[in-house]
Amino acid sequence: MTNLQLTRPIVFIDLETTGTNKQQDRIVEICVIKINPNGTEETLKSVINPKIPIPVESIQIHGIKDIDVQGMPTFEEFSKKLIDFIEGCDLGGFGTNFDLTVLECEFKRSGINYSREGRKILDVKLIYNKLEPRDLSSAHLKYCGKILENAHRADVDVRATIDVLESQLEQNSILPRDISNLCEFCNPIDPSWIDSDGKFAWFDGKAIINFGKHQNKTLEFMSKSDISYLQWIINTDFPIEAKNIVKDAINGKFPEPTKKGNLV
């Protein structure tokens, strides 16, 4: 890489996993490429034995089957080599939040002290989103083939929105044709989420905080150790659903796992 100035190494990370639950799913393959300030590259990669069955839905995405991970190192066995490889490095990837959260959980389960604190995080997906405009005028030009005149007038914008949707449906056969499935396509819900905004999530059958400085701590623990933080959530601009969960927790009532999805 010749166009990026580095003062210390950066590692680009990609994971394949058993699913999309950031707290509970496991890594089945990892590749890390380190780029040094002098331009040289180093690669560390391996198939990983997750020690749990790989769901069919995930196999359809990455093609890694249970038989492929037999005899391969577990993450715990691989973790020491990995932590040494990324020591002193900044982090990069495409859609980094998922990969880095899964990695943090895997390190924690392995008893390895790891944190992304103090590291620069470079998400190439965010760069792409900033370079490729995503406003209504850009969408109208792409899907309808003409410049949107008089944008930012309500009647013009709402008609343009309808026209763009119609063109999207015409040009993309994979898009659902009914409202329910189209909404699900646009807003996929992480099965670990307790509330619709993902402020709280399931981890090992317990409700945890899924944001901020107390991320991954259980609601039960917080209700006993730092109730002022929960009161802050209630008094701040959080969704009503999240506030109700916190109010219940303060009163000793905690969410109970269901049998749906991967919540338990």
What confidence tens digit (pLDDT) does each residue in 26-43 have?
Answer: 999 999 999 999 999 999
Torsion (CA) 146, 149, 152, 154 in degrees, nearest 10: -100
Q: 205-209: long-range contacts at Cβ-Cβ below 8 A with a sequence spacing of 24 or more?
A: 205/257, 205/264, 206/254, 207/245, 207/249, 207/254, 207/255, 208/23
For residue 261, what pLDDT is reported? 44
8 Å CB contact between 247 and 255: no
Categorize the per-residue pLDDT at 242 as very low, low, confident or very high, splitting at 50, 70 and 90.
Answer: very high
d(CA 37, CA 100): 22
For residue 100, what pLDDT is reported? 93
CATH number of 10-126: 3.30.420.10
The residues with which 208 forms a beta bridge, in sequence order, are 201, 218
Angle between helices 154-171 and 136-144 (to 10 degrees): 40
Sort strands 41-47 and 27-35 into parallel, antiparallel or unpaired: antiparallel
Categorize the per-residue pLDDT at 102 as very low, low, confident or very high, splitting at 50, 70 and 90.
Answer: very high
For residue 212, what pLDDT is reported? 87
Comparing 54-58, 126-130, 175-179, the range with the smallest average pLDDT is 126-130
Q: 160-163: long-range contacts at Cβ-Cβ below 8 A with a sequence spacing of 24 or more?
A: 160/136, 161/136
The 3-state DSSP class for residue 109 equals helix
For residue 36, what pLDDT is reported? 94
Residue 104 has pLDDT above 70, yes or no: yes
Kindly report, as residue ranges, where domains of CATH 3.30.420.10 are found in the chain.
10-126
Average pLDDT across the chain, whole number: 91
d(CA 261, CA 241): 20
Show Cβ contacts of residue 99 under 8 Å, excluding neighbours closer than 6 positions. 13, 14, 15, 93
d(CA 14, CA 84): 17
The 3-state DSSP class for residue 30 equals strand
Mean of pLDDT values over 5-13: 94
Comparing 40-44, 135-139, 169-173, 185-189, the range with the smallest average pLDDT is 185-189
8 Å CB contact between 25 and 17: yes
- Sequence letter at residue 117: E
Mean of pLDDT values over 76-96: 95
Share of the chain above pLDDT 90, in %: 70
For residue 203, what pLDDT is reported? 87
Mean of pLDDT values over 56-65: 92
Q: Is the pTM of this model over 0.75?
A: no
Mean of pLDDT values over 123-146: 90
Categorize the per-residue pLDDT at 74 as very low, low, confident or very high, splitting at 50, 70 and 90.
Answer: very high
For residue 172, what pLDDT is reported? 94
| Cα three-residue angle 112-125-123, rounded to 5 degrees | 40
Q: How far apart are the first and last CA of the chain?
A: 44
d(CA 109, CA 74): 12
